[in-house]
Amino acid sequence: MELLLPRQRRLDLRQTRLMAILNVTPDSFSDGGHFTGEQACLTRVNELVAAGAEIIDIGGESTRPGAADVALDDELQRVVPVLSTIRRKFPDLVISVDTSKAEVMRQAAHAGADILNDVRALQEAGALEVAVASQLPVCLMHMQGQPRSMQHQPVYQDVVSEVLHWLVSRAEQCQQAGIPASQIILDPGFGFGKSLSHNYQLLAAMPDFVGSGYAILAGMSRKSMIGQLLQRDVSERLAGSIACATIAAMQGAQIIRVHDVKETADALAIVAATKSGVIQ
């Protein structure tokens, strides 16, 4: 299993890959600071890569529970210059862009993005068309509701089958539109319109998601499924985040999206050694 990236590059997904979160939102608080300045941004990317990040996920929209929508111009200004700067200094780095807006996707692809990561699964106006034209791999995430209200009483009859079936059917629509199955990543969307119990049912069912045959991304880092279970503030969620990453990777998730790269890289090295039964 591998993703085809621009300029003849590939991302091998036979081993779990580590995606590092790079927030470029003014209200971000769980990325270790703000990186709106270009130099600060490059310094942070250097750190993330040195720590073992294999993909950098740049996001300019806050999709935390309760967050308001971001205007297109604000998101463009936050994401595109930073992306261009990172691409210039790191020609081979795998860069994903966390956006739902077609115009951000279009300009990001032009500025050198490798993956389109969309928490709204390409459902906003024009997004699917831009994604098809870009030929980039896409991550389709499941969300019930919208960030502003999604945590007000999420309801499912069977969260695992509903999320899995929704993702597979969205993937099929994307294939109809021209995105090859091998370029589609699915993501259960931890914390996006899910109760504590829903999140753990989804984590326990990771083998079902992996069994779909699509590449799977899991993003649980520092989320409330850790904080609520353990009664920990955001700054105290590292051990829980590593446990979640380890469980997802052991069950075959191909990409893990995290804040704490160095610590998670160690955990993933243990997972890789365990799976192969050999020390390299």
DSSP 216: E
Question: Closest Cα to residue 232, out of 222, 246, 242?
Answer: 222
- Taking CB under 6 A as the criterion, the residue among 11, 186, 217, 268 binding ligand YH5 is 217
Instruction: Please calculate the CA angle 196-53-276 and round it to the nearest 5 degrees.
Output: 80
Task: Single out the segment in contact with ligand YH5 by CB under 6 A; choices: 44-52, 160-168, 219-227, 267-275.
Answer: 219-227
CA Rg value for the chain? 17
Give the integer Cα–Cα distance in Å for 181 and 1. Answer: 11
User: Which string of x and - marks every residue 170-189 that binds ligand YH5 (by CB under 6 A)?
Assistant: -----------------x-x
Q: Which residues contact 88 (CB under 8 A, 6 or more apart)?
A: none
Q: Which is nearer to ligand YH5, 29 or 273 (CB)?
A: 29
- Taking CB under 6 A as the criterion, the residue among 119, 202, 242, 249 binding ligand YH5 is 119
How big is the site for ligand YH5, counted in residues (CB under 6 A)?
Answer: 20
Burial string for 33-53 (b: 16+ CB within 10 Å, else e) reads ebbbeeeebbebbeebeebbb
Provide the minimum distance between the beta carbon of 273 and ligand YH5 in the complex, in angstroms, as a whole number: 26
Residue 139 burial by Cβ neighbours in a 10 Å radius (0-12, 13-18, 19+)? buried
From 7, 223, 232, 237, active-site residue: 223
Question: Closest Cα to residue 116, out of 92, 94, 138?
Answer: 138
Residues 78/36, Cβ–Cβ less than 8 Å:
yes
User: Which string of x and - marks every residue 30-59 that binds ligand YH5 (by CB under 6 A)?
Assistant: x-----------------------------
- Taking CB under 6 A as the criterion, the residue among 64, 87, 232, 262 binding ligand YH5 is 64
Q: Which is nearer to ligand YH5, 169 or 279 (CB)?
A: 169
139 touching ligand YH5, by CB under 6 A: yes
Give the integer Cα–Cα distance in Å for 130 and 101. Answer: 10
Residues 224-243 that bind ligand YH5 (CB under 6 A): 224, 234
166 touching ligand YH5, by CB under 6 A: no
- Taking CB under 6 A as the criterion, the residue among 44, 106, 170, 257 binding ligand YH5 is 257
Phi and psi of 3, rounded to 5°?
Answer: -95, 145
The question of whether 223 is a catalytic residue gets the answer: yes
- Taking CB under 6 A as the criterion, the residue among 112, 137, 219, 240 binding ligand YH5 is 219
Q: Which residues bind ligand YH5 (CB under 6 A)?
A: 21, 30, 63-64, 98, 117, 119, 139, 141, 187, 189-191, 217, 219, 222-224, 234, 257
Q: Which residues are catalytic?
A: 223, 257
